[in-house]
Every structure is written in structure tokens, then in C-alpha cells.
Structure 1
Amino acid sequence: MRTRLSALAAGLLALFAAVFVLAPPAQAASGLYVSGGKLMDANGNPFVMRGVSHAHVWYPQQTGAFADIASLGANTVRVVLGSGDRWTKNSPSDVANVVSMCKANRLICVLEVHDTTGYGEDSAAVSLDRAVDYWIGLKSVLAGQEPYVIINIGNEPYGNQNYGNWTSDTANAIKRLRSNGFNHTLMVDGPNWGQDWSFTMRDNAASVFNADPNRNTVFSIHMYGVYDTAAEITDYLGRFRSAGLPIVVGEFGWNHSDGNPDEDTIMSYSQANGIGYLGWSWSGNGGGVEYLDMVTNFNKNQLTSWGDRIFNGANGIRQTAKLATVYTGTPPTSTPPTSTPPTTTPPTTAPPTTAPPSTPPAGSGCTAAYTLINQWPGGFQGELKVTAGNSAISGWTVTWTWSGGQQITNSWNATLSASGSTVTARNVSYNGSVGAGASTTFGFTANGTGAGAAQSVRCTAS
């Protein structure tokens, strides 16, 4: 997020065809990696970022934000850091603690240096080369964290002036990090305060990607006022998809001083095409953009309109986020935060087991089916899919009985209660309305054995 937005010249949004030539991967990454234009986690499963930015450099005392962001369903947090050139330097010990908090809350950690914001136009900003100096100083705490950490080299590294060197500077920053032993997935922001209205990043992405010896670079576009129509959004993202290049919406909002971005299209197109998105930002905005706070005063129980939209709305984080399987292939090493949704692709050795859908009584209007998503010694993760019948429903209740003394330890997307061996799950505020023939899901973790755990599953519409 830039601290000030310059007026964007009209007419610079003309669409130019880009030709991309991709070289094959030169070296396998040791953690997260790019394959076929998509980001994969360290277990080789596709990983789609669904998360938000947190301004850690300005609010270092707000360490509870990591658990709070996870509890609302995010699988990724983008952490704002300072290199000491413009904002207070986050020390190696502080960054190590940030990474540990991400891991404890089963979040992929995107670390970014903010001091580069608007370089070439803002005299206080520093170059990508200075950002690389900072990353090299963190090597000792980032080595070995490749499955959990993405390095966003520098935030919005050029403003709307003097951005002609973006391509060479970005390629050189990547090569310098690789020559210093960094094997992490790297993320690079476009110029023009991240919005790339000049299409400099778009039209030179292939050469930058091929400059990476590891072929493990993801491109990040920031979508604010430049992207206020569906056509602009789908064209920009679609060109990366067609070229087989990895793209993520690294920042976006629901409003902005330079125009009103079309967040609905950003989120729906991203979801339909497996593109990650990271909203700006959790809390603490100032300078006239306080409306971009997702929660008030860092309180997760005080969602703003923007926060409710990105977490609970259509194609929002709760509905679409899936954890990286590095956190779910084995039992978590720490207790998951309350309501964190550990939805994941199941391990190939333990395919999902789905019970037949419940047969609804006459007039009940919905069915429910139980799926075993994952299991480990002493515990498992389950999911229930609620499907409306021939008519839309405005609420639902699902009941089942345990097959052998299982006990819920965590749940998400439903309110659960238990009486003896009977469990009752009711919809929450954002997923009670289900269209005719449409579905919604909720999940849980529990102690015990997962196969066939939910018996006599019934769904009743209200």
C-alpha cells in the first residue's frame, strides 16, 4: 500500500499484446515453488493465497493479529517490514518471531520490505538493491523456512516516474538473492505504485521470470483505482494465465482515493482461475484511507464493511481458503486457533471418504454429506457439505451421531453443539442462505477415528 497516490494519466490503459517465452525450470525449489504457472506448496499440491496484509512494522506490538487473521479463515498473511532506510528496521530476531507466529497459526508468511514504496517518484524511497541488502542480512533466520515463507522483495518499487529500469532492477534483485543462496519463492511488485498501468511488468514478465535461475518467481499486481472495471481486471490477469506465468493480486481494496476498484470481479475471477489474492489491510490505516481497515482497532470481533466483505462475502476468504498441506499432512505441532478453517487437499495416501448424502424428510429442503478430509494418530479432520433441494433455503441444521466416542476439538463455518453422541451444527450468519441446488460446507477437527465417524446424518432447512 503506498502512502500517497499520484494522479494517473488518462489513456494509459490501452491494452497491448504481450509475447511471453518461458524457459523450463532450472532447479527444483526446496519449499514452495512455481510449476506450470501455478504456485505449489512443499508437498507438491497447488496453493492459492487467500489472505491479508498486516502492518507489522508500524504496529509491532499487535502480535495477536496473526492468530486473529487465521481465525477468520486466512491461509496467508503478508507482513509489512522495514529495512531501516525509511521505517524502523525489523531485526533478524523480530523477523524470526514473525515467521514462528505464522507457522504456529498455520499461515504462509509473505514478508515484504516497504521502504521501496514509490522509488523514482518519492524521494524517501530506496531501491530494490537496498532491499536485497536487507534480505541478505536476514539469511540466517530465513534459511530452512522455504516451505513457509515467500519473500516479496520490495513493495511497489517504482512510482509513476522514472520506472524505466523496473525490468533490469527486478531481474538483478532476483539474481542477487539467488547468488546469495536464497531458494525461497520470490514475489515481485509492479511499478506505478504497484498498479502497472504502463504494463511494464506485464510486458516484461517473461524475461524477469527467466532471469530467475530457480524459475520460482511470482508476479504481484496491486489493484486499486486503475482496476475499476471487470474488463481491465480480467484482461490483465488473463494475459498472465495465457502466458503460463504466475500472478497474484498482492493488494486490493474495496475503495480508494484514486477510484473505486471492482473488488467483486477481482475476487470472483481469482477464485474461478486459481489466482491468489491478499487484501489491504488488517487494521491501522491512516492518511485518509482508514476505510481500508478490515477490523476496528485490531479487534477481530469488530469487522468493518470491507472486512466483512473480504472474509465473509461471495468468493471471500472463509469460503475459498485452503491451508497449505505442509500444515495438514501430519498433526499440527501447535493447537490451532479457534475457528481456523484447516481445509486442505487430502494426502494421496488417504483419499477422502464420503458418506452417502442424507435422505431429507419430506419438506426438509436440504441434504448433507460427510467427508473424511484427513486423519492422523488420535485425530482427524471432517467436512460436511450442505446442499439445498429444488428451492432456496434461508437456514439449515445438520445432525449426526458419533460412531465411537469422537469429540470435536475445533470447527469453522458452523455453530456446533453436542449432547451425548449426538452433534448438532447450525449455519452461521454468512452461509445460511443457499440457492436451489447450491451447496455450502463446514468443517471440524476431532479426537478419535475419522472413517465412518458421522452416522445418521440429517439436514433440515429453516
Structure 2
Amino acid sequence: MFISKEKVTSSHSTSLAQVSGFLAICATMLLSSCSKPDDVMPATAPTPSAVDEGVFGNGVNLQPSYYNNGNVNIGWSLMRQQSKIRTVRIEIEPDKVSQAKTWIRDARSNGYTVIATYHKASVLGSDAASELTAAANWWRSNYGTLAASGSFTVNLMNEWGSHSISSNAYASAYNNAISIVRQVYSGSIIIDIPGYGQETRTAADAVKGTNGTRINDTNIILSTHIYPGAYNQGRNRSMINADLDEMGSVGRSCIVGEFGNDSGGYTGANWSGLVDYAKSKGWTVLAWCWNGDGGNMNMVTPAWKNNATATSYSLSSYFNVAYAKL
């Protein structure tokens, strides 16, 4: 079993305060396929805008782990035609190290900044510190292998921490995990804020040490994930612009690591306005997703869920929705 844009997990109930996104079970795609040779040739980096966006250039997410054992054609030639895409965030399941080497190599060869994210679909929203520690140990074991394929920024773990985790527990777990990653990596570390990327108050308190424990490492980047169902349980309401202000007030760089328009049946947050506001604050924004969603948020067609061995792509109707925000 594998996950689409896995915003809803088994830990969710039907309460809006516990639901921040979307989970769909996808069908496993078989057969093997490799990237088309002429689609991964070195290319000139995408043309930057007059003013660079945030910490990185704006861009898109990729979730290739679940399709054809990760052996998919990304469609780099089509992506290179989209000048506003300058960064790719690649979600990597822990058993896909070999495939991730190819994804990172090809992204760098095609001129993109890379964010590499440890992603374990079965534990999204988990408060188990052992899962975050496992992610850190994975990085300690695999960072050197992956970095040999090209430089990237580490996103320590996708969506660790529930809506209900305390700031002290969040900070303590990240202090331990970051100390492990620092044994092999000295660059900026992206950490997803808790509550599936939506508990801005908890993250702010953890960075400031409001409740006693603070995140000690200052070379971190806070990442929020914005969808129509985005909910801030700490404020008992859907996310609003003030939440992004709170997140950005702690003296750390911030990004929107994911955004998209699929509500999964839950609405309340003005996802589009929030993304625009984040951009007005100078934050990098990364669309979900170029390909790999198990639902409707794929910027190209065919989606890997429908054809994991496709060798060419065209832009989908959703492309216009997501790309307009970059």
C-alpha cells in the first residue's frame, strides 16, 4: 500500500481540528522503466526572476517513490520550459535510496535546486520521537551516498508531529534528531512544522522556548503546508495570514513546502490567499505537485498513478492552478 498526497492518516478522525489534508490509497504500478536518455541531459539552470524568491527559487514537489518502484520518467524537458520552476522538493521513502540518487542527479543536471525529504507514508503526523530519530539515522547513513549525486538541502522528515504535540516535545525530539544529522551535514535543515505543517503556534513556541524547551540549532528553515483544509488547532480555527506572521516572527527562514487546491472534503482555509501572502513575505513556495499525487493534484498528464512507464507528458488542467501561484 502507498499514499497519494497523504494529508489524512489513520490518526485522523472526522473532526476538522484533526484533519489537515488528504489521503488516498493508490494502486501499485508495475513493470520497470527508466528516464528517457534525452530527458536528463545537462541543461542551463532555469532563468531566475529579477528578485530571487525566499531561501530558494519557487518550484514544485515530486513524489516518485510509489510508482514502478520509483523508476519513472520525471519529464524534465517539459519542466525546463516552465521558467518559474527553479526548485524541486523530492519526497523519498526510506527504501528508495538507490532511486533517489537518480532523481537528485537528474534534477541537478537539469539545473534545479533540490530539497530532499525523508518521507515515510505510514507515520505521517506521528508524535513518536522514535520515528523522527529513525529519519535522522537514515540521513546519517545515507546522506553521503545521496550527496555524491549532487548537492541538496535536507528536509529532515515530512510532516512529523500531530496537531496535539506540545512545543516542548516537538523541540526535544528535533534537538535529538538534528544533532544526529549534524554528524554528516552542516547545511540548513528544513523542518516541517507540526500538525501536517499547520501548527504555527507550536512551532513558534518551540523555536523561542516559550514553554521551557527550545530548538537549539539556529540553522533551520521552518516549512508550512497549505491546503483548503489547513487547520491551526492551537488557535482553534482554520489557518489565516496571522499564522504565517507568527511563524515568521521567530527569526528563522520560512517556506511553504507544499501547497495545493484539493480540499479532500475539508475547507475553511483560503489556500490561494495564504500562498500569495507567503510570497509577499518573501517566502519560497513549492506547489504540490509536478507528479506523484494519487488524486487530482498532478501538474502533468499522464499521472504516474495511471501510467508509470510514460515517456512523454503534457500539462494538465491543474497545472494552470498551481503554476499561477509560483
1:77 counterpart letter in structure 2: V
Q: How far is 1:159 from its partner? A: 3.0
- Percent identity of paired positions between Structure 1 and Structure 2: 22
Asked if structure 2 preserves the Cα contact closer than 8 Å seen for 1:206 and 1:245, the reply is: no
Structure-1 residue corresponding to 2:87: 76
Instruction: Tell me which protein shows more strand as a share of its residues.
Output: 1
Post-superposition Cα deviations, 1:14-57, rounded to whole Å, max 9, x if no partner, equal: xxxxxxxxxxxxxxxxxxxxxxxxxxxxxx99644411111121
Residue from 137, 150, 154 that aligns with 1:151: 154
Say whether residues 1:218 and 2:230 are aligned partners.
no
Residue from 163, 167, 170 that aligns with 1:166: 170
- 3-state SS in 2 of match to 1:243: coil
Say whether residues 1:98 and 2:100 are aligned partners.
no
Once the two structures are superposed, the pairs formed by residues 20-419 of structure 1 within 5 Å of their partners are 47-59=55-67, 60-73=70-83, 74-83=85-94, 89-91=95-97, 93-115=98-120, 116-120=123-127, 127-143=131-147, 148-160=151-163, 165-178=169-182, 180-196=183-199, 199-207=201-209, 211-212=216-217, 215-224=218-227, 225-226=229-230, 232-257=239-264, 258-259=266-267, 261-286=269-294, 290-298=295-303, 300-304=313-317, 306-311=318-323, 313=324, 316-317=325-326
Asked if structure 2 preserves the Cα contact closer than 8 Å seen for 1:234 and 1:269, the reply is: yes
User: RMSD across aligned C-alpha pairs, in angstroms?
Assistant: 3.3
Asked if structure 2 preserves the Cα contact closer than 8 Å seen for 1:175 and 1:211, the reply is: no
Structure-2 residue corresponding to 1:386: none
CA distance 1:47–1:188, change in 2 (3 Å): closer
**Normalising to structure 2: TM-score of the pair?**
0.70
Q: How far is 1:113 from its partner? A: 1.4
2:186 counterpart letter in structure 1: N
Q: How far is 1:77 from its partner? A: 0.8
Q: How far is 1:128 from its partner? A: 0.6
| Separation in 2, partners of 1:161, 1:269 | 26
- 3-state SS in 1 of match to 2:195: coil
| Separation in 2, partners of 1:55, 1:145 | 18
| Separation in 1, partners of 2:258, 2:114 | 15
Q: Larger relative CO (CA 8 A, sep 6+): 1 or 2?
A: 2
1:216 counterpart letter in structure 2: N
